[in-house]
Structure 1
Amino acid sequence: MTETETQTKLDGRPPSVATLFLDRVETTPDLEAFQYPAPAAGGDGDEWRSLTWAQSAERVFAIAAGLLDLGLQPEERVAVACNTRLEWILTDLGILCAGGANTTVYPSTNAEETAFILADSGSRVLVAEDATQLAKAREMRAQLPDLAHVVVVDAEGTGEALAAEGDPEGWVLSLAELERRGADYLEKHPDSVREHIRALRPDQLATLIYTSGTTGRPKGVRLAHDAWSYMGYAIEGIELVKPDDVQYLWLPLAHVFGKVLTAGHIKVGHVMAVDGRIDKIIENLPVVRPTKMCGVPRIFEKVYNGVAAKAKAGGGAKYKIFLWAAEVAREYARVTQDNHRRTGKRTAPVGLATKHALADKLVYGKFREAFGGRMRGMVSGSAALAPEIGYFFDGAGVPILEGYGLTESAAASFCNREDTYRTGTVGKPLPGCEVRIADDGEIMLRGPGIMQGYHGLPEKTAEVLEDDGWFHTGDIGELSDDGYLRITDRKKDLIKTSGGKYIAPSEVEGQFKAVCPYVGSIIVIGADRNYCTVLISLDEVALTGWAKENGLEDRPYAELVASTEAQELVEGYVRQLNERLQRWQTIKKFRILPRDLDVEHGELTPSLKLKRPVVEQEYKDLIEDMYASSREA
């Protein structure tokens, strides 16, 4: 699709994704819309089932009508606390078609913060995945006077049975019961849902997504119906997915990255395979055989580290072949991308092409089969991807198209295109998105995807959103002459040493992840210090293979990471890292953490972003120890 055609479609876009959904159902009612896992008939594992667009619409309309029967009014909030699954998407569409607005809640959020989000958003209904999510609402019910109903997705028995457990007024009902009520409502008011869809305005509130809170209380980001309609058209315009694609969706739908993919899915009409169980990704990929998948850098890093660790466990010869193939992949990716930039063709010299073909037979072919054998490309977002990881995936035949956006910009503002991607950049702006770089290097955005503001926080909104629509991202970046954006760091995360040198932590951290196959997380320390240090956690799965190789398999993880052998292992990789860095960036000391960082301990957000202030506070004693004995080093 040409830029002119895309812009024409953008200019004439309908007011909401609900309208797009109706158009999609009417255009391709019998085509497959979703694939999803369900318990197998024999009770042994899962089997994948599917829904057509018409079948999906039947459930969506029933949910929408059920909410109308509960008295939902336009723009009233319905919170969804549920893992990524088919019912999340159907419920979200039901909310939008009823004229309501979805408040997204991570199911991992504790009861207190869940109550804060429900109260701050003024949510009238909560769609809770199971008894665990229901228990949070019951625990905090006294603080939630506006919450009129809880709808449980995985409910034992009927809504009436749940109500009998202690909610005689029918506060709790099952999703199945909501859909039955909706079906009855539609019999009496057959045009009700379509009338609500027709009444939707582009500026009407569609979604409240609460920021993941890397610092302080989360803020509710207000996104209008038009933002999602725009995203659907923009995704189609850059052909991020195509009608014949099968996209594998595991990302948390409470996060804007996962949510935006549903808008693209509806506009383009491809198949979406939905399963949010992270531990099932490796098992599902050869079964689903997707052609597209989106993820966050931590997942791609784990895949790379896992492949490297497996090769190492296979013996010295196998590991040498892998290391050789990995370097060939990176060199091939760099050369062919550079040639494409200059000539428009992805070519490589004969010698490199010959080595690449051999490496493909020995390594890359098996690597692609692990993804199902049909993967045309993957999209990475939410945080910076280490270029060395990106070059490896590209050279191995599974390119990662890095993109960029924020919750406040409805997820996607920049993205690499399938035929013109450049590793180390986040690509060009989406059609309809304006960008400028401020004098201090901050990236500024304007366009239909930008939020209306922070819910109930006009002062916070005014800090980042100017009257003429320009949004301050808080990220530092550089634009190439032909429009490719490179993110250098978060404005607030830049480190200035006591010697006056500025350092981008993510750049150093990304380079370490490229050289060390055992790293779980790494955080660079050095603000107002006279040298840099790092805290490093090791990936438990990768470390297990290393331990077996070195006769340490009987030691527990905490003892392993504290061992002399582990210290020497990491020290070797730190030396390799320092060889790549400027003098003022080099790492003088490191400490290995007793466990990997995780969401449960509050060190990572649910979308796997690092919470630097939390980690620095938690391990402040280790940090001080690295500087205590060498104040003048």
Structure 2
Amino acid sequence: MNSAAPLIDSRPASVAQLFLSRVAETPDREAYRYPVPVDEHAADSTPGAEQWRSLSWGQAAERVYAIAGGLMALGIRPEERVAISCSTRIEWILADLGIMCTGAAVTAVYPSTNADETSYILDDSGSRAIIAEDGVQLAKILGVIGGLPELRHIVTVDGSKPAEGADLPEGVEVLSLAELEERGGAYLKEHPDAVVSAVAAIDREQLATLIYTSGTTGRPKGVRLVHDCWSYQAAAQSSTGLLSAEDVQYLWLPLSHVFGKTLTSGHIQLGSVTAVDGRVDRIIHNLPVVRPTYMASAPRVFEKVYNGIAGRARAEGGAKYKIFLWAAKVARDYARTGQETLIATGTRSVPLGLRVQHALADKLVYAKIRAAFGGRMRACVSGSAALAPEIGFFFSGAGVHILEGYGLTETSAGSTVNPGEDYRVGTVGTPLPGSEVRIAEDGEILLRGPGVMRGYHNQPEKTAEVLESDGWFHTGDIGEIDKDGFVRITDRKKDMFKTSGGKYVAPSEVEGRFKAVCPFVSNILVIGNGRNYCSALITLDEPTILQWAGAHGMGGKSYAEVCSSTEVHELIDGFVQRLNGDLQRWQTVKKFTVLPRDLDIEHGELTPSLKVKRPVVERENAAAIEAMYAGANEA
């Protein structure tokens, strides 16, 4: 029997039960860290200064119990939905646990979701209450609440209230999170066993979370994840042996997204420390302060770090830039050679000459990179989209080990992950204990296991399209499994296209290669479905390209002006030609357009987990795409 099997098979019915057990076992152990502003009246304070505060498991439980009691006092009952519209912060986690400890279910809403879609999600889910972060979220909800007869309670994290004289629908109440916790305390004085009884009554097949997929077309679908999905994730993550109770996790991912949410389950199982701060612009600042041993991220963060390192080296010029280029090549050669020998012999080894070069490069370059990650990072997990292998090999050689994993909202995130020291760049690892993977005849990846959703909310027809009666879920991804059981994703089934010449192109493969050769790129979309050649829409990393522009006589120009300049087009063309040199003829990018702004969540071009919404980008840039094919007949 697999050594992980007992842990998987004996998992509790819910993470709520797991949380109560964790609190009982280690009440005084540190559980969470979160940033708070330094008292502005303190003698040594500086504007904007912050400090990190801690919560023990026992202290966290006090707040979770109070939130659960408060919801019970509002009349929330098991499986009724309570929405959360809030950025990643300690209150999101406490609210999520509080809702689960009542036996109710969380409706996750991205705070960036517009009013119309927020209204749809709250209505479709039948949410009775919502925990909203601030006045912005409150205003959005008040603007649509007239069409939400089920929504009776709005709880604001920061204490925001409606403007004086605001006309609220009859029976709708707005209160602060502090007021909810105060009511919860009073409720639990009268019903001291209420939370423990509610948790004990949770059935593992009871609805725990509704996460709405950010659809590229049509309305999003509500993914039904039951308590057992999260309990399984907690047990499976723990059983990999990748993490321990001594780890410090840095958590910035959106908690409304399945990738961020699942990390909270594994953390409770282990009883480790999680430092929580969802502000993306603070990641680089926070890492040396938190000094985490573990972090999960989307590939875009690693790409930005790589571009930043390369950009700074280029700006320093001369010998320093040459040293960086040499060190980058050594890192890739070292990591790739070690991986090839691992696959061939079962042991990582590299020739003596390369080891000597690597040791020198470590002193000159790699040590500084590891220091930027806090100096204690044992491993990072990358998911949500593909990491370009060349970037993966670079960080691997530099001693920042990025373990790619794979999963979807419909599988409560993790289905596969790379195993510790035996990880293989370019793959998403092997199945988590308890999960199964197989490849269909057409190359589609199918998944089965306890983490798979129980269906789409109120959409049985859509459920039947992807979920077979024997539990196999159709992912929509194309991939393969090697002889050692490692899974490799080659593309999205719906993203692959055929040129007018009949050749299939996997755009993500071409895009990943371009990100490895061009340190200025932010996003790239390869286009060519039904066309006689491939083209590309390219956006550039703003700090990196503006730094380059300043050194090439364009200082003071705006980002849009720089991107539209002849100089930048020539710069990027050089990288496109380098890309084309390693591609099959039908894969090569014949024409490209540098867009005047980067893609973002606000314009609906990126999901909150930073995946590109291809149909949206192609629709918004239809004129630019047509211009790249105007009058073109060449093959």
Whether TM exceeds 0.5 here: the answer is yes
Match of 1:17 in 2: 15
Given that residues 425 and 486 in structure 1 are in contact (C-alpha distance below 8 angstroms), is that contact kept between their aligned partners in structure 2?
A: yes
Alignment of 1:243-254 (within 5 A): 243-254=245-256
Q: Supply the distance in 1 between the matched residues of 2:222 and 2:430 (Cα, whole angstroms).
A: 28
Deviation at residue 241 of structure 1 after TM alignment: 2.0
Q: Supply the distance in 1 between the matched residues of 2:318 and 2:412 (Cα, whole angstroms).
A: 47
Q: Supply the distance in 1 between the matched residues of 2:245 and 2:360 (Cα, whole angstroms).
A: 34
- Is the aligned partner of 1:370 residue 2:368? no
Deviation at residue 164 of structure 1 after TM alignment: 7.3
Match of 2:74 in 1: 70
Match of 1:79 in 2: 83
* Secondary structure of residue in 1 paired with 2:12: coil
Q: Pick one of 1, 5, 8 that aligns with 2:6.
A: 8
Match of 1:122 in 2: 126
Specify whether residues 445 and 461 from structure 1 end up closer, same or farther in structure 2 by C-alpha distance, changes over 3 A only: same
Deviations 1:472-511 (A, max 9, x none): 0000000001100000000000011111111110000000
Match of 2:216 in 1: 214
Specify whether residues 495 and 316 from structure 1 end up closer, same or farther in structure 2 by C-alpha distance, changes over 3 A only: farther
Deviation at residue 217 of structure 1 after TM alignment: 1.2
Deviations 1:101-132 (A, max 9, x none): 00000001111111110001000000000000
Q: Supply the distance in 1 between the matched residues of 2:165 and 2:178 (Cα, whole angstroms).
A: 17
Given that residues 546 and 562 in structure 2 are in contact (C-alpha distance below 8 angstroms), is that contact kept between their aligned partners in structure 1?
A: no
Deviation at residue 8 of structure 1 after TM alignment: 1.1
Match of 1:258 in 2: 260
Match of 1:408 in 2: 410
Q: Pick one of 565, 581, 593 that aligns with 1:563.
A: 565
Q: Supply the distance in 1 between the matched residues of 2:195 and 2:62 (Cα, whole angstroms).
A: 11
Q: Supply the distance in 2 between the matched residues of 1:491 and 1:617 (Cα, whole angstroms).
A: 20
Specify whether residues 240 and 166 from structure 1 end up closer, same or farther in structure 2 by C-alpha distance, changes over 3 A only: farther
Match of 1:89 in 2: 93
Deviation at residue 632 of structure 1 after TM alignment: 3.3
Q: Supply the distance in 1 between the matched residues of 2:238 and 2:248 (Cα, whole angstroms).
A: 15
Counterpart amino acid of 1:494? M
Deviations 1:440-483 (A, max 9, x none): 00001111000000000000000000111111000000000110
Q: Supply the distance in 2 between the matched residues of 1:476 and 1:169 (Cα, whole angstroms).
A: 50
Q: Supply the distance in 2 between the matched residues of 1:412 and 1:503 (Cα, whole angstroms).
A: 27
User: Which segment is superposed worse, 327-336 or 237-246?
Assistant: 237-246
* Secondary structure of residue in 2 paired with 1:140: helix
Match of 1:55 in 2: 59
Match of 1:200 in 2: 202
Deviations 1:285-343 (A, max 9, x none): 11000000010011111110111001100113211111111110000001112222333
User: Which segment is superposed worse, 622-631 or 269-278?
Assistant: 622-631
Alignment of 1:299-338 (within 5 A): 299-338=301-340
Q: Supply the distance in 2 between the matched residues of 1:428 and 1:534 (Cα, whole angstroms).
A: 33
Q: Supply the distance in 2 between the matched residues of 1:451 and 1:114 (Cα, whole angstroms).
A: 22
Match of 1:272 in 2: 274
Match of 1:622 in 2: 624
Q: Supply the distance in 1 between the matched residues of 2:58 and 2:612 (Cα, whole angstroms).
A: 41
Given that residues 222 and 453 in structure 1 are in contact (C-alpha distance below 8 angstroms), is that contact kept between their aligned partners in structure 2?
A: yes
Q: Supply the distance in 2 between the matched residues of 1:365 and 1:344 (Cα, whole angstroms).
A: 27
RMSD: 1.3
Match of 1:539 in 2: 541
Deviation at residue 170 of structure 1 after TM alignment: 6.0
- Is the aligned partner of 1:46 residue 2:44? no
Q: Supply the distance in 2 between the matched residues of 1:205 and 1:61 (Cα, whole angstroms).
A: 20
Q: Supply the distance in 2 between the matched residues of 1:162 and 1:202 (Cα, whole angstroms).
A: 42
* Secondary structure of residue in 1 paired with 2:567: helix
Deviation at residue 250 of structure 1 after TM alignment: 0.2
Given that residues 477 and 488 in structure 1 are in contact (C-alpha distance below 8 angstroms), is that contact kept between their aligned partners in structure 2?
A: yes
Specify whether residues 244 and 58 from structure 1 end up closer, same or farther in structure 2 by C-alpha distance, changes over 3 A only: same
* Secondary structure of residue in 2 paired with 1:621: helix
Query: What TM-score results when the alignment is normalised by the length of structure 1?
Result: 0.98
Deviations 1:507-562 (A, max 9, x none): 00000000001001100011111111111111111111101111111211111111
Given that residues 163 and 172 in structure 1 are in contact (C-alpha distance below 8 angstroms), is that contact kept between their aligned partners in structure 2?
A: no
* Secondary structure of residue in 2 paired with 1:251: coil
Structure 1 residue runs of 5 or longer lacking an equivalent are none
Match of 2:27 in 1: 29
Match of 2:382 in 1: 380
Counterpart amino acid of 2:466? V
Q: Pick one of 151, 156, 159 that aligns with 1:152.
A: 156
* Secondary structure of residue in 1 paired with 2:59: helix
Match of 1:578 in 2: 580
Match of 1:113 in 2: 117
Q: Supply the distance in 2 between the matched residues of 1:538 and 1:631 (Cα, whole angstroms).
A: 29
Q: Supply the distance in 1 between the matched residues of 2:487 and 2:216 (Cα, whole angstroms).
A: 24
Structure 2 residue runs of 5 or longer lacking an equivalent are none
Q: Supply the distance in 1 between the matched residues of 2:217 and 2:384 (Cα, whole angstroms).
A: 16
Q: Supply the distance in 1 between the matched residues of 2:584 and 2:259 (Cα, whole angstroms).
A: 34
Q: Supply the distance in 2 between the matched residues of 1:48 and 1:368 (Cα, whole angstroms).
A: 22
Given that residues 214 and 605 in structure 1 are in contact (C-alpha distance below 8 angstroms), is that contact kept between their aligned partners in structure 2?
A: no
Counterpart amino acid of 2:153? H
* Secondary structure of residue in 2 paired with 1:202: coil
* Secondary structure of residue in 2 paired with 1:534: strand
* Secondary structure of residue in 1 paired with 2:301: helix
Given that residues 311 and 322 in structure 1 are in contact (C-alpha distance below 8 angstroms), is that contact kept between their aligned partners in structure 2?
A: yes
Counterpart amino acid of 1:19? Q
Match of 2:177 in 1: 175
Given that residues 163 and 173 in structure 1 are in contact (C-alpha distance below 8 angstroms), is that contact kept between their aligned partners in structure 2?
A: no
Alignment of 1:176-191 (within 5 A): 176-191=178-193
Specify whether residues 163 and 265 from structure 1 end up closer, same or farther in structure 2 by C-alpha distance, changes over 3 A only: farther
Q: Pick one of 287, 290, 312 that aligns with 2:289.
A: 287
* Secondary structure of residue in 2 paired with 1:248: strand
* Secondary structure of residue in 1 paired with 2:478: strand
Q: Pick one of 138, 144, 149 that aligns with 2:142.
A: 138
Counterpart amino acid of 1:585? Q
Counterpart amino acid of 1:38? V
Counterpart amino acid of 1:416? N
Q: Supply the distance in 1 between the matched residues of 2:227 and 2:324 (Cα, whole angstroms).
A: 48
Q: Supply the distance in 1 between the matched residues of 2:459 and 2:172 (Cα, whole angstroms).
A: 34
Counterpart amino acid of 1:224? V
Deviations 1:540-591 (A, max 9, x none): 1111110111111121111111111001000000010001111111111111
Deviations 1:27-52 (A, max 9, x none): 11110000100111236411001000
Given that residues 425 and 485 in structure 1 are in contact (C-alpha distance below 8 angstroms), is that contact kept between their aligned partners in structure 2?
A: yes
Q: Pick one of 388, 393, 416 that aligns with 1:391.
A: 393
Identity of aligned residues (%): 64
Match of 2:634 in 1: 632
Counterpart amino acid of 2:572? V
Q: Supply the distance in 1 between the matched residues of 2:376 and 2:531 (Cα, whole angstroms).
A: 49
Given that residues 163 and 171 in structure 1 are in contact (C-alpha distance below 8 angstroms), is that contact kept between their aligned partners in structure 2?
A: no
* Secondary structure of residue in 2 paired with 1:201: coil
Given that residues 69 and 185 in structure 1 are in contact (C-alpha distance below 8 angstroms), is that contact kept between their aligned partners in structure 2?
A: yes
Q: Pick one of 203, 222, 225 that aligns with 1:223.
A: 225
Given that residues 215 and 611 in structure 1 are in contact (C-alpha distance below 8 angstroms), is that contact kept between their aligned partners in structure 2?
A: no
Specify whether residues 164 and 268 from structure 1 end up closer, same or farther in structure 2 by C-alpha distance, changes over 3 A only: farther
